[in-house]
Amino acid sequence: MPTRRTVLVGTLATLGLTACAGTGGGSGAASSGSTKPKQVIIVTDSDPDSLNPGLTTGYQALDVNVKVYEGLVWLDKEGKPQPQLATKWVASPDNLTYTFTLREGVKWHDGSAFTADDVKYSFETLLKDNARAQGVIKQIASVTIPDATTVVFKLKAPYAPFMSQMKAFDTPILCKAVYDGKGDVKANPANRAPVGTGPFKFKEWKTGQSVTLTKNTAYWAPGQPKVDELVFRIIPEAQNRVNAIVAGEVDILPAVMLPQANIKDIEGKPNINVNKQTAIPALYFMLMNQANPALAKVEVRRALAAAIDRPRIVTQAMGGLALPGFGSWGQGFPWATNKDSSYDKLYKLDPAKAKADVAAAGGVAGGLRITFDAARPQFAATAQIIKDNLAQVGVEVKLEPLERSVFSDKVYAKRDYDLALQSFTSSGDPAIGFHRLYLTNAGRTANVNATGYGSAEVDKLLGEAAANPDQAERGKRYQQAQVILDQAVPTLILFDELQADVNRTTITGLYVGVNPADQFGQVDVK
Amino acid sequence: MHRTWLVTFILKRLLYAVPLVVAVVVVNFILIKAAPGDPVTVLIGDYPATQDYIDQIRAQYGLDQPLHVQLWLYLSEVAKGNLGESLSQHQPVAALLLDRLGQTVKLTLTALAIATVAGVALGTIGARWRGTPVDSTTQGVTLLGYSVPEFWLGQLLIIVFAVNLGWLPLGGAQPVRGSDFTWLDVLPYLVLPALALSFRYTALIGRMTRASLLEVDSADFVTAARSRGLSDWQVLARHTVRNASPPVVTVIGYNLGYILAGSVMIETVFSWPGIGRLLYESITKRDYPVMTGILLMISISVVLANLLTDIVHALIDPRVGRS
């Protein structure tokens, strides 16, 4: 069995190679065999779980998959959808029906034609159980295909971030013929040798070492891709990833793979470029469990908010790569941020007053635990600063670093914690990623508000904001909700993360925008 | 006559090993299930997931069964030679292990070879010049080697030889750029991890060699050999080393398990694509089948290494086990 699998994957890889060599007469670089292929090496930290986007949510798989697979659209710098596998789309006036016209002449990497059937099958079968796609999948009532180049989505209710979830990150389109009728999806060989429509096709996966993609010479965008190979090199140890880019062993170090505090080891080094940006807004925050009688009192939560030095966390724990917590939505979406209600006004750093307020509210008997994912150094550093800050107001804090899976279990399933540190990405829209910070969550859904806080008014405002496609109208709802949330502080926003993608200066054509990882067709090597 | 003794000895030892290996699997299985954390939370990542959804995924993987049922299913599959399927990578565990095994064997055997040669040399030098500054130096080196944690030494080697001097690559098992590599291209990648992994065992073997040589050195037959007019080197080569070797062989063989354990850290530090790193990753992902599969394999190799050590021991020491 293992040998058969290996042989199968090997054969697929070889087929991919020969197909590439057979059609790759244009550029002439890779086809001669003796010349070195033009390679770009990207760092990652471990093997992808699977290269089937329906089976994983890990970034390691995502970074590879968005070069192999494509979505119906991609999002530009302003977060606006741009054509990818779909060339046009129309929303009905009631925002319940979206009709997409698909790009013609697109071929899968195995040579077969891409059709509307693939889109329907991806949404209805392959992505159905994926946690990342759940947000939008749950909103879809039906997918119909009137003809081979038209797909119609009917929604259960209007859903504002629908278009932003049609990108390759959330809902990539997979090849129906590869999976349909081929038995157990989990055992399909394409999970380790994916067949997509993107600018790069799968070549080889050396487990524990690297994943290699090769140029798709039949790619629909003329003149793309520009390099022959993309190699994802696996370096598990964070410091070694930094060392590798400094030494020139790799070309690109994505923000996700770079511990922010290490940025100072990289900045100013020769031939290295650091792009700092708030690509996709992401918030780091501290949950306060209201099952703890002290934290159930709003006076105590407010006092803690005034005791925590957010700028110090940004400087010391994040190497300056963050914006100190502004309010309940951070400041990544300016249209959703209420400038008049802010932590700086409500909870100006004042340890003496905070100490008095905690005492007046009855104190915090027995101190508090602060729980976080031990694998993320920025959390460990943040927890230390919070411990130090709260000691000054007479609250003793005990650090509780846990493995990721134990953290989820304790915080979300058991709610056995006092304070907990976590981060959420918005995935491009507050309705996708940020509502879960505050929505009432009686059913203990994982990765949704585990503080025990719930406000019918906030829930209603967020529901309206999710359903209305008009940004100004949505903004009003978010700003109203922010006033309530800033006052109640169920969860304290510590900072907005800035991202720093690092690359060697020999690499050109990197797209700086919302999701730079899925725009690699233009990337070239000097 | 000689041969039947050896066969009985091996069969007996293998028979004793069976319950030991089963116990290792059962204890590890129960321990890891008793530990908090769950593979499903890893599969979900940071995305919202309702309890219904979590239960559905858990049922898909058979994690909703009671512990003793899971254990029984696992053991009966293992007995049939099936190590199960990885929860995170959806691949047969045996395939994952075979894929990584070669690299770990390469790394640990190289480290063991370095440690044996360097350790015996250091120990012999120490014993030969006992009480001199040479002896104190080798003693100091071995003490240091025994006290330094492997992962820290690994980081240090990377900073000095890969980052600052740029002589050797900082990790991986082969070049990433280009293709068609010869063993000369690949060899530099083995140097630092093998050195880091061997350091502790060099020290251990060195100290054991020295102690054993000194013990034998005071025996009557050595005094007798000296009185016959043999030089120090002749005594050492013909009499002492031979008689001092059994405890050294024992230390080398019995430590294979520790070397395999040490490779978990070293493989992670040096991005070495072996079993150790797979174990580390499977623990963080709570990938139970992969984890127990690796522990099973490690316990079998430790049992086999110990058996081999005993056989070698018995062959070089006529007093062992023939009764």
User: What is the enclosing helix (H) or strand (E) of A423?
Assistant: strand A419-425
Task: Say which of B51, B162, B271 has its CB closest to residue A237.
Answer: B271
Which tokens sit at B247? 């405890």
Position A446 confidence tier, pLDDT thresholds 50, 70, 90: confident
SS3 content of chain B, % helix, strand, coil (to 5): 75, 0, 25
Cα separation, A501 vs A276, in Å, equals 7
pLDDT of res. A479: 96
B180 — contact with chain A (CB < 8 Å)?
no
Say which residue the tokens 């699998």 belong to.
A5
CB contact under 8 A, A57 and B162: no
Q: Output the pTM of the full model.
A: 0.80
Which ipTM value was assigned to this complex?
0.71
Position A515 confidence tier, pLDDT thresholds 50, 70, 90: low
B240-291 pLDDT, tens digit per residue, is 877 888 888 888 888 887 788 788 889 988 988 899 889 988 888 888 889 8
**Higher-pLDDT residue of A35, B46:** B46
In sequence order, which ranges of A399-517 are alpha helices (DSSP H)? 404-408, 430-433, 456-467, 471-488
CB contact under 8 A, A403 and B284: yes
pLDDT of res. A15: 37
Q: Among A185-189, A341-345, B38-42, which stretch is predicted with the lowest mean pLDDT?
A: B38-42
Contact A273, A502 (CB under 8 A): yes
Which tokens sit at A107? 């071929």
pLDDT(A124) > 50? yes
Position A272 confidence tier, pLDDT thresholds 50, 70, 90: very high
Mean pLDDT in chain A? 87
Mean pLDDT of A75-94: 91
Tell me if the bond preceding A225 is cis, omega within 30° of 0: yes
Contact A9, A205 (CB under 8 A): yes
Position A17 confidence tier, pLDDT thresholds 50, 70, 90: very low
A225-239 pLDDT, tens digit per residue, is 999 999 999 988 888
Of A173, A169, A167, A181, whose CA–CA distance to A143 is shortest?
Answer: A173
CB contact under 8 A, A2 and B98: yes
Mean pLDDT in chain B? 84
B8-53 pLDDT, tens digit per residue, is 888 888 888 888 888 888 888 888 888 777 778 777 777 777 778 8
**Higher-pLDDT residue of A323, B322:** A323
Task: Say which of B92, B155, B176 has its CB closest to residue A5.
Answer: B92
- Please report the beta strands in A92-209, taking only residues with DSSP state E, as ranges in sequence order: 97-102, 140-147, 150-155, 200-206
Q: How far is CA A392 from CA A33, A397, A418, A490, in A?
A: 67, 11, 18, 22
CB-CB neighbors (< 8 A) of A412 in chain B = 41
Query: Which residues, listed in sequence order, are joined to residue A113 by a DSSP beta bridge?
Result: A107
CB-CB neighbors (< 8 A) of B174 in chain A = 209
- Please report the beta strands in chain B, taking only residues with DSSP state E, as ranges in sequence order: none
Share of chain A above pLDDT 70, in %: 92
B50 — contact with chain A (CB < 8 Å)?
yes
pLDDT of res. A265: 80
CB contact under 8 A, A231 and B176: yes
Interface of B with A in 196-215 (CB under 8 A): none
A/B interface, count of CB pairs below 8 Å = 177
Cα separation, A284 vs A379, in Å, equals 9
Provide the b/e sequence for B281-309 (b: ≥16 CB within 10 Å): bbbbbbbbbbbbbbbbbbbebbbebbbeb
B171 — contact with chain A (CB < 8 Å)?
yes
Position A357 confidence tier, pLDDT thresholds 50, 70, 90: very high
Mean pLDDT of A433-452: 89
**Higher-pLDDT residue of A520, B34:** A520
Cα separation, B110 vs B198, in Å, equals 8
A202-228 pLDDT, tens digit per residue, is 999 988 889 999 999 999 999 999 999
Q: Which residue of B has its CA nearest to A205?
A: B99
pLDDT of res. A434: 93
Of B284, B52, B89, B60, whose CA–CA distance to A446 is shortest?
Answer: B52
Cα separation, A161 vs A435, in Å, equals 12
pLDDT of res. A7: 38
